């Protein structure tokens, strides 16, 4: 099991992705106990490191025990879908290694991303942001 391979020396938690995490709103609540025990008592930057070693800066909001700014970029870069399970492993001060267990195979992930890009609301937002 992945959690066993990560070891117990450093804190680890898992989150199952919901639509609000990866399809709209793009907000990720972290376990309160983890935040209280291992994250600062103030808003700060938390770095997420994907399996290839790429780092993503996110905004941690202490009052809400969650990640906001930067989470959407991480979610898109990883092509996360509802049902994917993420394992977070504290590897440094405000630095989390993230391991992803896909609910679906990569073909389904790529098809879903393609469909999301064709969705009228996504197309409209792109047109508005690109000035077209």
Q: What is the mean pLDDT of each run of 10 residues along the chain (132 residues)?
A: 54 91 90 94 96 96 94 94 93 94 70 59 51 54
pLDDT confidence of residue 3: 46
pTM of the model: 0.73
pLDDT confidence of residue 89: 94
pLDDT confidence of residue 104: 72
Domains of the chain: 10-104 (2.40.330.10)
Contact (CB, 8 A) for 12 and 88: yes
pLDDT confidence of residue 24: 85
pLDDT confidence of residue 10: 77
């Amino acid at each position: 099991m992945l959690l066993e391979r990560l070891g117990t020396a450093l804190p680890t938690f898992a989150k199952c992705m919901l639509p609000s995490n990866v399809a709209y709103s793009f907000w990720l609540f972290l376990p309160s106990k983890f935040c209280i025990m291992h994250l600062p008592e103030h808003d700060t930057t938390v770095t997420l490191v994907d399996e290839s070693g790429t780092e993503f800066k996110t905004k941690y909001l202490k009052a809400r025990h969650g990640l906001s700014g930067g989470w959407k970029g991480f979610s898109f870069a990883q092509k996360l879908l509802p049902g994917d399970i993420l394992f977070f492993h504290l590897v440094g001060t405000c630095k989390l290694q993230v391991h992803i267990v896909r609910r679906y195979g990569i073909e389904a992930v790529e098809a879903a991303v393609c469909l999301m890009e064709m969705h009228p609301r996504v197309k409209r937002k792109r047109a508005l942001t690109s000035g077209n």
